[in-house]
């Protein structure tokens, strides 16, 4: 692992990483988020007058993945070949799994993480009338593949 942060130049100034010399490879990433909410809020999801919160969150997450470079200042705009958001209903909330893929010179970890976070924020937005204490937790990278550093998988806890 490098002891130097890549988004700073020699003078310590913020800088976009030059990836022009890197090889184009297939890259994937999977990210996780969890929206913690009361069971009665979970049960009320199908009757939400704003529409199905999970389908709106799915679209929001996919759009967010596509716009990551517009949101995170030093991210490279990437030609995504896939962006997806899936949900797992649990007794205490909703698990979000977001995925992103590309064939490019840099990875898609930020696209997957952005998709998961924005999907979670969208669920909050669509359900906050029922409970303002909903929490967004556990946003993290699950896995990434491709590129010089190879595969990373988060250890299960």
Q: What is the pLDDT of residues 21-44, one digit of tens each?
A: 888 999 999 999 999 999 999 999
Alpha-carbon radius of gyration of the chain: 17
- Residue 5's pLDDT band, with cuts at 50, 70 and 90, is low
Residue with the bigger pLDDT between 19 and 69: it is 69
CATH number of 25-153: 3.30.70.640
Known catalytic residues are: 125
Q: What is the mean pLDDT of the chain?
A: 92
* Lowest-pLDDT choice from 46-55, 111-120, 138-147: 46-55
> Please, which pLDDT band fits residue 2 given cuts at 50, 70 and 90?
low
1, pLDDT greater than 50: no
Alpha carbon distance 47, 128 (integer Å): 14
- Confidence band of 49 (pLDDT split at 50, 70, 90): confident
Say which range, 2-16, 71-85, 89-103, 119-133, has the weakest mean pLDDT. 2-16
What is the pTM for the complete model shown?
0.91
Tell me the pLDDT band of 121, cut-offs 50, 70 and 90: very high
SS (H, E, C) the chain: CCCCCCCECCCCCECCCCCCCCCCEEEEEEEEEEEECCHHHHHHHHHCCCCCHHHHHHHHHHHHHHCHHHHCCCCCCCCEEEEEEEEEEECCEEEEEEEEEEEECCCCHHHHHHHHHHHHHHHHHHHCCCCCCCEEEEEEEEEEECCCCCCEECCCC
Share of the chain above pLDDT 90, in %: 76
């Amino acid at each position: 692992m490098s002891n130097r942060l890549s988004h700073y130049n020699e003078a310590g100034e913020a800088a976009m990483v030059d990836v022009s010399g890197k090889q184009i490879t297939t890259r994937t990433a999977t990210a996780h988020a969890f929206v913690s909410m009361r069971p009665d809020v979970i049960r009320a999801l199908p009757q939400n007058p704003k529409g199905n919160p999970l389908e709106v969150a799915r679209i929001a997450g996919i759009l967010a993945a596509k716009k990551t470079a517009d949101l995170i200042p030093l991210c490279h705009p990437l030609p995504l070949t896939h962006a997806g958001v899936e949900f797992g209903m649990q007794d205490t909330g909703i698990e979000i799994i977001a995925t992103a893929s590309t064939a490019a010179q840099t990875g898609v970890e930020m696209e997957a993480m952005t998709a998961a976070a924005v999907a979670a924020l969208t669920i909050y937005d669509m359900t906050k009338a029922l409970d303002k204490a909903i929490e967004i937790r556990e946003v993290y990278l699950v896995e990434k593949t491709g590129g010089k550093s190879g595969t990373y998988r988060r250890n299960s806890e």
